[in-house]
Structure 1
Amino acid sequence: MQSTPNPDLLSPFSEALTKFAYQGFQQTKSLFSFAHKNISDRLTNTVIPSRQDMTSPLSPELLLKLQESRSQLCEIDWEDAQKGIYPVEVLFDSFLPDFLRYYPEMWLDLPKIWSRLQRKEYQSFADDIEKEGYPGYYLQNFHHQTDGYLSDSSANLYDLQVDILFNGIADGMRRRILTPLKEGLTTFSSVPAYQIKVLDVACGT
């Protein structure tokens, strides 16, 4: 007679395994981001030695604090998924296709970034980029990246750059708005969902 697994026993094991996979996924992204920044910074400092005088290493205490904050954020991200704020699957949204497509382009853009750094060019755009009507804040080469905010290709690179900048936890940081947003929407529980409008106001950093 074949026995049937008890789902009540499998559920805690499955949850623990999924959490372990999530932690491993985030740790891999963190280590990769750190390695990328270390290599790219070394190359930049080699090409532009004066850049070394503009930066200073973080103290061990601050590095430890940053690591603790990142771990806390990952734990909150996991807990919110367990509460049903968003599906657990969201935690594993595959970034691989975009990564494989745009990561090589980040390296190809690096020599252009070096050139803009050396020439102190902060508002350099291709001739076909439409610049009319934008506030001055947007007419910059953020991170000295080609075309700043103003082209599709630069937007794709910027999104990946931000994730690397924040050690692979950018999506988790963005999801922090979902819990208070979902709680706030309970005020309108009597209003049909199709009548509810949410205004997303971009405010920069």
Structure 2
Amino acid sequence: MSVASSLRRYAASRFLNVHASPKSFRNRSAVAIRLQHVAPPPLNSSNGKAACTPALKPGISDDTYFPPNENILFWRHFVTPQRPTETAARLRRHVDHVFYTSRKNPSSILYWLHAFARLAFFNNVFSSLGHTFLAMRLYDAPLSTRLLAFPINHADELLHVFKQDYDNIRTGTYNMPWDVSLTHRQSSPFFILRQILALAAEAPRVLSKTVEKESSNSNWLHSKLFPHYYSQTFHHQTDGWLSSSSADVYEVSTESLFRGTQDAMQRTVLKAISLFVQSYHRNQSKLTMLDLGAGTGRFSTFVRDNWPHAHYILADLSPFYLQKARENMSYWQRKRASSHLGPGSVRFMQANAEDLPLEKGSVDILYAVYLFHELPPHARQKVVLEAARILRPGGLFIIADSVQFGDRLHRDSALGNFERLNEPWFSSFIELDLGKLVCKDGMFTPYVKEVASMTKMLSFRRLGV
């Protein structure tokens, strides 16, 4: 019997028995999913393609600034199961956890329905459009093994991301995602069809350029506002960041790459903001938050849904992505107007992250999500200096981006392969000591770190009086 068939039978039995024998259920070992205790590989092992020497692995160097906690250690030593029996055992624990939380808190049912729907949808999009072949080039393993094992054994990791996200919701760290509503447009068959058709038109071009290892640094639009590196057609997207069609397909393409977990991984940023606001800024109407490199603005709708009375600035170089961000924020306002609109505000700013048209000390919280790996080294330093300039003393600076060498020891050998997606500065990013970059001039002090699968979040507080 296959792993998938076994799990379907098991899930059905849990559904039939969960109310009949609550005592036996409570006694099961899977009331909560526990850490997978796996011995870490020797730190003197280069692990294949890992170009960074162990002593310099930034994920390990982070420990100097952020004492490793359970979350950091869990993801550092996480290993994808390889044997079908191990895969089935882990997924059964996830099934038990979902039934337990749903029984204890019925409101969680909507979250888990949403999570499983995302996994099913984006996994099918990923496979049907040929992204599976692309994924094979992003991981080191025999191709035949990956083709057979990728969909099911990686479900354990994906479900851990959702469990971590739900635990933050359950403990009140941040709100239930506003898009879990069945009335959200992403539940509409017509919206889904438009997304699939847009991605279907774009995917063959991206895949062919990736396989042929093409590199393009030309774009149709030129402006003195754009730094030279912005002319890259990042990710082999048609027009790079400089078209409405690129903005329309961005969300579905990146979510497909991460099998529907991107939103949940990005919400690690909300944890840092929540801790900061609870500790220092309970009056959110006096808060100004800046989304630097806002892109489509989708993530900022989750931030604003948690702190609707704050004031927001969404900054990006692309006018096309800012237009998409405006649409996403307007949609949030229409859906949440009855309970969430207040004295807060939002404005959109076309600006270079290295030189922002903002006053010194005018921002309380600055978050940059998936920005730093797109920047060349000299630009990263300028962005840090600009963040120090515009943040008020005590303000919060958050960087959420790809994990680096040392954050996922058993993925180190594969990280460098993301550069094939026309990410020209990705290899320098995964070797970069972010803590040293941000703190070296004495302008910032470390705050909190969180990891979720392929995303890490580092936060820092601005020093000064």
Fold match by TM threshold 0.5: yes
Percent sequence identity is 19
- The residue number in structure 2 matching 1:199 is 366
Q: 1:55 to 1:147 in 2, by over 3 A?
A: farther
- The residue number in structure 2 matching 1:167 is 259
Higher relative contact order (CA closer than 8 Å, sequence separation 6+): 1
- The residue number in structure 2 matching 1:9 is none
Deviation at 1:87? 2.7
- The residue number in structure 2 matching 1:68 is 156
CA distance in 1, matches of 2:249, 2:160: 27
CA distance in 2, matches of 1:39, 1:99: 15
Deviation at 1:38? 2.0
- The residue number in structure 1 matching 2:52 is none
- Aligned partner of residue 267 in structure 2, secondary structure: helix
Deviation at 1:118? 6.9
Q: How many residues align?
A: 183
Residues 102 and 157 in structure 1, CA contact (< 8 A), matched pair in contact too: yes
Residues 131 and 139 in structure 1, CA contact (< 8 A), matched pair in contact too: no
- The residue number in structure 1 matching 2:180 is 92
Q: 1:165 to 1:120 in 2, by over 3 A?
A: closer
2:243 maps to a residue whose letter is S
CA distance in 2, matches of 1:61, 1:113: 21
Q: Residue 236 of structure 2: which of 129, 137, 144 is its match?
A: 144
2:244 maps to a residue whose letter is D
1:13-162 to structure 2, matched below 5 A, reads 15-16=105-106, 18-41=107-130, 56-57=142-143, 58=146, 60=149, 64=153, 66-90=154-178, 92=180, 94=184, 95-96=186-187, 99-113=192-206, 116-117=209-210, 120-123=213-216, 127=220, 129-130=221-222, 132=224, 133-136=226-229, 138-162=230-254
CA distance in 2, matches of 1:44, 1:76: 29
- Aligned partner of residue 123 in structure 1, secondary structure: coil
Deviation at 1:160? 1.3
Deviation at 1:44? 7.3
- Aligned partner of residue 129 in structure 2, secondary structure: helix
Residues 99 and 160 in structure 1, CA contact (< 8 A), matched pair in contact too: no
- Aligned partner of residue 88 in structure 1, secondary structure: coil
1:77 maps to a residue whose letter is D
1:22 maps to a residue whose letter is Y
The structure with more strand, counted as a fraction of residues = 2
Residues 254 and 262 in structure 2, CA contact (< 8 A), matched pair in contact too: yes
Q: 1:102 to 1:21 in 2, by over 3 A?
A: same
CA distance in 1, matches of 2:234, 2:130: 17
- 1:47-81 superposed Cα distances (whole Å, 9 cap, x missing partner): xxxx8xx99533849963x3222212212222222
Deviation at 1:26? 1.7
CA distance in 1, matches of 2:157, 2:150: 12
Deviation at 1:92? 0.4
Report the TM-score when normalising by structure 2. 0.34
- Aligned partner of residue 366 in structure 2, secondary structure: coil
Range with bigger deviation, 144-153 or 173-182? 144-153
CA distance in 1, matches of 2:132, 2:172: 44
Residues 123 and 140 in structure 1, CA contact (< 8 A), matched pair in contact too: yes
Gaps of 5+ in 1: 1-11, 46-50
1:177 maps to a residue whose letter is V
Report the TM-score when normalising by structure 1. 0.68
Q: 1:23 to 1:192 in 2, by over 3 A?
A: closer
Q: 1:39 to 1:85 in 2, by over 3 A?
A: same
